[in-house]
Structure 1
Amino acid sequence: MLHDAAFLFADPDYFQPVERTDPGRRYAPAAPPAGWTRGESGVWTYWMPPRVELPEQGWKVHVSSSLDNAALVLDLVSGVCGELGVPFKHLAGRTFFGWLHSKHGSRVQSGKFCALYPPTPQAAHEVLVRLERSLAGIAGPYVLTDRRFGASQCVSYRFGAFRPSYRLQADGSKLPTMRGVDGTEIPDERRPEFFLPAGVVDPFAPPPEPVGESEVSFHGYTFEAVLRHSNAGGAYRARDLAGNARFVKEARGHNGYVGVQDARQRLEQEYLTLRALHAAAPGLAPRPVELFTEWENTYLVTEFVPGRTLTSWMVASTPLIHASADAATFDGYYQRCRRILEQVTEQIAALHRLGYAFVDISPGNVLIDDDDTVRLIDVEAVQRLDHPLGLLSTPGFAPPELRTAAGRAQADPRYVDAYGLAALAQLLIFPMHEVAERSPESLDHLHADLAEVAAPPKPLWDQVVRYRGAVGTPGPS
């Protein structure tokens, strides 16, 4: 995300360099090293001692931090670097911290609040030892690309390039590179796991124990498949000791922020919401099994709901991808769409009667089984109707006015759900949410094109265009 979408960060509509983004509240050491040069590069602020020349590559040291501790951690890092003469950089401001540590942030960049560039392995070891001692007891997110040092919960390291070096690819993209032990150019691989180039040996840790191909099991669950990775944590299919299929959702510590809430806080809230819904209306949401903590992460276990997401169902079922589809085929598909939308609408209405709003209605949160029966999943954003609207939503499936604080403050959660239902209808007809949001008249062209084969039934099409070009937040209906 850091590289692929950086040009969209400064402005939602126009390509802009990330440097034009307002970094928010700026981070800066309270007492910067005297005589050092300060500079800016992308999302980073860097500090260089006088008369220093960085080697091309070496052992990078990273320091992670929770949102609340960032300023204090930076002061300690700055003090150590100043004493040892080690160049370093840190995220320039609160906005960039939120970006890299967000729920949908880059997994290979996340967790890195400060990066240090010791010029030799001996200097790297010295700074690692000093930081481990200075930051003892301070916890930060686990940096997936790194190996933690000693007993620290926020200091880690990896081997990689210090100075930017790229190889231009045939598609115009740039591949980060470095030098192998034989001097040849090799990729500077950024994986969400600790990785050493061929011939490079870790001098800071004992040799790792051999790892077999054994299954992953803990807390009474055997993990069978990864369903989704995210910066906030993974989602898995598992089995309990009795052999029952279970869905397990992971929340990584001090990461996956939405606003000031990290992934673990949201998962705890989701568990309580599931318990309340299950007590009031069993079957309306997945049945909660338990919430537990293992190592530094928290896990929510629920029943495993079979089916495929609404997006997968639409791709597999829509006649639009078949050139030979006739009017009867389209009519059959439209009838199935109406039945699916009716089920989702009924379940949302039941949720409203209980005093809750779903808020984040999106195709990934709707599962369809083999007989077109619908279940709502992922109640992370579900909230009480009488509470201020939360921050979670899916682009294209939430009213555009929610992008501003003022619009969010005025929005009725029931209107947000109604908008989401209309967006689901549009997905089933044809997924062009971003185009329609910016140019509502494009839906007229879509209808004209569909009418050449089989126009959608009027009730279904009326739902698609229900909020076309709407401005403001109408009340519940």
Structure 2
Amino acid sequence: MHSLEALELYTQFHDRWFESPVRYVPSDEYLQSLAGVIPACWRVERDGLWYSVTPPGLTLPDHGWKLHIAASSGEAAEVLRRAAEVLRAEPAPFKFLLDRRITALSNGKLWHRGSSGKFLTVYPSTMEQFHALGGLLALALVSISGPYVLSDRRWPGSSCVSYRYGGFASRTVLQADGTRRHVLTGPDGSEQVDARLPYWAPPAWASDPFPDDPLPPVMSRSLCGGRFVVQSALAFSNRGGVYRAEDRDTGQPVVLKEARPRVEIGASRLDAITVLEKEHRLLERLAGSGYFVRPVALFRDWEHAFLAEEFVPGTHLGLFSLRNNPLYAGNITAETLAAYLERMRGLWLQVAQAIAAAHERGVVLGDLSFTNILVGDDHHIRICDLESAAQEGVDAPVGLYTPGMSVAGVTERANDYYSLGALMLGSVFLVHGLTGFHAPLRSVFLDELQRDLATPADLRTLIDDLMTKPEEFSATPARAIEAIGRLPARSGQRHSSRPRLGRSLARRFDGESREALRARVKRRSRAS
């Protein structure tokens, strides 16, 4: 199966369709850095997301110890120039990422953890050259600090050069699902998977070139001087993990969010630790509102930063909606829909109040989505994950958003009300993401949902207004709160105990012929 990270890559090169990276047209910034440094007889060719550089007349083994250089997107061009000067004097094949945008992606939150940070890879032909090149590159790049490459060990004394045992020539085995698995051939002729794992895992036959150099500390279950004890991992991303832990000072459960240095977040490419520190500051600013998770502590462990915040028992709004919406359970009656909409109305009202409370404190949320609104066991909401939030006049926009829930890359008050409308639409039926591709379709879906589910006309109007005229609500915050508070649970129209979508297929379109239905759908499609 393809991983989420692999699928994410194919969303980067077209605003609507999945697209192969080979169709991406890079800038020439890195090639300009290389120009005049390497000899003209060296072959430079593109291979996917990489440019490969091959000096003439060299023979490489199939696998061995390779060198990686990690660099931020802002320093990568200079790193390439310095590394190329070393490699011109001590020729070896190497490859580097296409341009600054691809470098930022590979350093980003959603990149595969076993591959992230590898801006440039060098393939030494012998162990003697491995040691010579590693030392020269570490010296030439002594002022550079790159993201930590999780699959590697750092070169002694360097903050950007690392090494790993792996394949030089690409040898793959076709899998049943159509993917290919990289393999190595051991000394006994057996094949071993050349896995890009997010931790140090060389093959058994490969002896570490620096066996006496200490490994970086393995993350302990006990952090912050023993105050927090990790109990389980909730999630991992390239930015770091999210853990459930116990606060020994209070005995209360907490959530720990981890940030690794020089991982780049959002279109603004902000350092993950900087973003986590900002999140802590904003949570403290919002703590008195009662609608946001309470920050407990911000601390460092080794090179990483951690934010401890209160643990909220319950689930996020997306799962709450999926588990309770009668549309998905197939139990569609006027009574079940009215009961569900009444429960959701209470949650929507709290979200509107949370937005107003944040804006009163000068904070724009930026990326309000189903997964960062927690519904407690007491049905009180808490909002978490304020990566994209910003204090007005203080913080730069991060440029991170959830498709379908936000106006792309916009951090302003009106956008928070657009997100509220998307939450309400998605709570009724999960089409908010689809309609984001073509906004005129939203009114079609809203009309058909009202027709099929007999939802209140006021609900349809409010969702449409929030998503088409959000600036009117940001100018008058009480408007959204009052409008949600007035929403009826039922349409007020006379209808059977089962809305049309809950009837049998034979009775679903009573009073409307097949031809009339087709004509109506065609008219709406053409109009949108």
Correspondence 1:240-259 to 2 at 5 A: 240-242=247-249, 243-258=251-266, 259=268
Contact 1:423 1:433 in 2 (8 A): yes
Larger deviation, residues 230-239 vs 91-100? 230-239
Change (3 A) 1:85 1:385: closer
Deviations 1:361-412, CA, capped at 9 Å, x for gaps: 111210001232111112222223467754122111012xx36xxxx4xx7x
Q: Which residue of 1 aligns with 2:432?
A: 433
Q: List per-residue Cα deviations over 1:20-71 (Å, max 9, x = no partner).
A: 3243462233652223222222221221111123322222211112333323
Matching residue of 1:9: 12
What pairs with 1:12-411 in structure 2 (closer than 5 Å)?
Answer: 12-24=15-27, 26-27=29-30, 28-29=33-34, 31-34=36-39, 35-206=41-212, 215-219=221-225, 220-242=227-249, 243-258=251-266, 259-278=268-287, 281-385=288-392, 390-399=398-407, 402=408, 408=410
The question of whether the paired residues in 1 share the 8 Å contact of 2:114 and 2:198 is answered with: yes
Identity of aligned residues (%): 33
Alpha-carbon distance, 1:475 to partner: 7.4
Q: Deviations over 1:64-115 (max 9, x none)?
A: 1233332332223222222222111111211111111122222222111111
Q: Which secondary structure state, in structure 2, belongs to the residue aligned with residue 347 of structure 1?
A: helix
- How many Å separate the matches in 2 of 1:162 and 1:464? 55
Conserved? CA contact 1:356–1:382, under 8 Å: yes
Written as runs of structure 1 = structure 2, the 5 A alignment for 1:438-453 is 438-439=437-438, 440-441=440-441, 444=444, 448=448, 452=452
Give 5+ residue unaligned stretches, structure 2: 476-528
The offset of 1:474, in angstroms, is 6.5
**Aligned residue in 1 for 2:485:** none
Structure 1 pair 474–57 and aligned structure 2 pair: CA distance change class (3 A): farther
CA contact (8 A) 1:47 1:89 kept: yes
In 2: Cα distance, 1:369 partner to 1:257 partner: 29
What's the CA shift for 1:157?
A: 1.4
The CA RMSD measured in Å over matched residues stands at 2.9
Cα gap change, 1:375/1:459 in structure 2, threshold over 3 Å: closer, same or farther?
farther
Pair 1:199–1:82, CA change in 2 (3 A):
same
- Structure 2 counterpart of 1:101, one-letter code: N
Cα deviations across residues 303-324 of structure 1 (Å, max 9, x unaligned)? 3333311122122222233234
Quick check: 1:352–1:385 contact (8 Å CA) kept in 2?
no
Alignment CA distance shift 1:104-1:473 (3 Å): farther
The 1-side partners of 2:248 and 2:17 are apart by: 53
Judged with a 3 Å threshold, the aligned counterparts in structure 2 of structure 1 residues 415 and 185 are, in CA distance, closer, same or farther, namely same
Residue 493 of structure 2 corresponds to none
For 2:285 and 2:28, the matched residues in 1 are separated by: 38
Deviations along 1:156-195, whole A, 9 cap, x unmatched? Answer: 1112222223222222222233323432343321211122
Alpha-carbon distance between aligned partners in 2 of 1:150 and 1:33, rounded to the nearest angstrom: 27
Q: 3-state DSSP class of the match of 1:4?
A: helix
Moved more, 379-388 or 349-358: 379-388
Instruction: Kindly indicate whether the alpha-carbon contact (under 8 Å) linking 1:181 and 1:200 is maintained by their aligned counterparts in 2.
Output: no
Residues 250 and 298, structure 1, Cα contact 8 Å, conserved in 2: yes
Q: 1:445 to 1:300 in 2, by over 3 A?
A: closer
- Whether 1:476 and 2:474 are equivalent positions in the alignment is yes
Q: CA deviation at 1:5?
A: 3.8
Q: Tell me the distance in 2 between the aligned counterparts of 1:467 and 1:253.
A: 38
CA contact (8 A) 1:385 1:414 kept: no
Distance 1:392 1:2, change over 3 A: closer
State the alpha-carbon separation in 2 of the partners of residues 212 and 329 from structure 1.
51
**Looking at CA atoms only, which structure, 1 or 2, has the larger radius of gyration?**
2
Structural mapping, 1:410-425, within 5 Å:
413-425=412-424
Amino acid at match of 1:142: Y
* Cα deviations by residue, 1:212-257 (Å, 9 ceiling, x for unpaired): 9974434332112222212222222222332232222221111133
Where structure 1 has 5 or more consecutive residues not aligned to the other structure, the ranges are none
- Deviation, structure 1 residue 424: 0.8
CA contact (8 A) 1:54 1:162 kept: yes
